[in-house]
Amino acid sequence: MIQDIFPKQYHVEYRTDCLPDPESHLMLCDRERILTIKEGDGLRLPRFSDVIGRGLSLETLRQRSRYLFAIDESRYFLLPDDTVSGLPSHLFSFLQAAELRQFQPRYEAFAGITAIQLWRFYGTRRFCGRCGAPTHHSDTERAMVCPRCGLIEYPKISPAIIVAVKNGDKLLLTRYARNASNYRRKALVAGFLEVGETPEEAVHREVMEETGLRVKNLRPFKTQPWSFSDSLMIGFSAELDGSDQITLQEDELCEAAFYPREEVPDPPDTGSVAGELMRAFKRGEL
């Protein structure tokens, strides 16, 4: 999965004592995209050394940067999207967040989408949601603080379930309605937890709401941070309980059916828990 970057190690500790050096990674985001630089026939995430001297000094960049995290000894810093401009387009380009699912090496894909999630958080918490005052960064933790009313906002992490529903040697697959999602491939049932709901309760509710089916024998599978939607994905497998008659929730789905093991499509990438569940079913491991 996208967060599986071993033997490299992700260090998420919040620090205010770090300043970038020329070899630190520069994370510049704009409209759900992240800046990349061409290297050979591919792309990579830029370093400060790639932009120093292009109208900006390291000292200026340091003043505007914010430490995000580290992978091994490499540090990653966020810069406001108006910091760097006029970069040569034959070298620099923006990559859509969704394209990071296939980006290599894997640790840079993980770094890129994690940076986008934090950029999204900082950009939407510049003002207090309770009193409207401008917020500032906490000195002690990754949070935005309102100096007027004291409200503290933390990065958005929304728990969601995803479930592989089995009916013997068949797997329940769905396809989203066009007005519900841009994702066009076959997918597993998934959805966000509601207030006061356990993950297991969410599995039963989502499967019933989307397909009219009942499930039993829920088993935890794997969990995954999914920065593409500010989510924490909680994977399950489950068995059909009773009738296989599907009642489609048409505002969410355009298709739902049970597919034999040999007809379950290969997932397009190895980055998601959804793909892990589908591959595990195809191998007979669920």
Could you report the per-residue pLDDT of 133-165, keeping only the tens digit for each? 999 999 999 999 999 999 999 999 999 999 999
Element (H, E) at 172: strand 170-176
Q: Which residues pair with 237 in a beta bridge?
A: 164, 219
Read off the pLDDT of each residue in 33-40 and give the average, rounded to a whole number.
Answer: 95
Q: Is the pLDDT of residue 178 over 90?
A: no
What is the distance between the alpha carbons of residues 119 and 79, in angstroms, rounded to a whole number? 9
- pLDDT one-digit tens code per residue, 61-71: 999 999 999 99
Model pLDDT, residue 269: 83
Nearest to 119 by CA among 77, 149, 147, 157: 77
Q: Which residues pair with 236 in a beta bridge?
A: 163, 220
Model pLDDT, residue 136: 98
Percent of the chain at pLDDT exceeding 90: 89
Lookup: tokens for 102: 């296939």
Looking at residue 94, the DSSP 8-state letter turns out to be E
Tokens 């966000």 — which residue?
A: 192
What is the distance between the alpha carbons of residues 161 and 89, in angstroms, rounded to a whole number? 40
Q: Are 278 and 262 in contact (CB under 8 A)?
A: no
Model pLDDT, residue 35: 96
Q: Which fold has domain 158-282?
A: Nucleoside Triphosphate Pyrophosphohydrolase (3.90.79)
Report the b/e string of 236-274 with b at 16+ CB within 10 A.
bbbbbeeeeebebbeebbeebbbbeeeebeebeeebbbb
Model pLDDT, residue 185: 87
CATH code given to domain 10-124: 3.90.79
Q: Is the pLDDT of residue 238 over 80?
A: yes
Using 50, 70 and 90 to split pLDDT, how confident is the model at 53? confident
Distance of CA 123 to the CA centre of its chain: 17
Nearest to 235 by CA among 202, 194, 209, 186: 202
What is the distance between the alpha carbons of residues 110 and 106, in angstroms, rounded to a whole number? 6
Read off the pLDDT of each residue in 63-80 and give the average, rounded to a whole number.
Answer: 97
Q: Is the pLDDT of residue 5 over 90?
A: yes
Model pLDDT, residue 84: 78
pTM comes to 0.93
Q: Are 5 and 104 in contact (CB under 8 A)?
A: no
Report the chain's mean pLDDT, rounded to a whole number.
95
Q: Is the pLDDT of residue 182 over 80?
A: no
Q: Is the pLDDT of residue 114 over 90?
A: yes
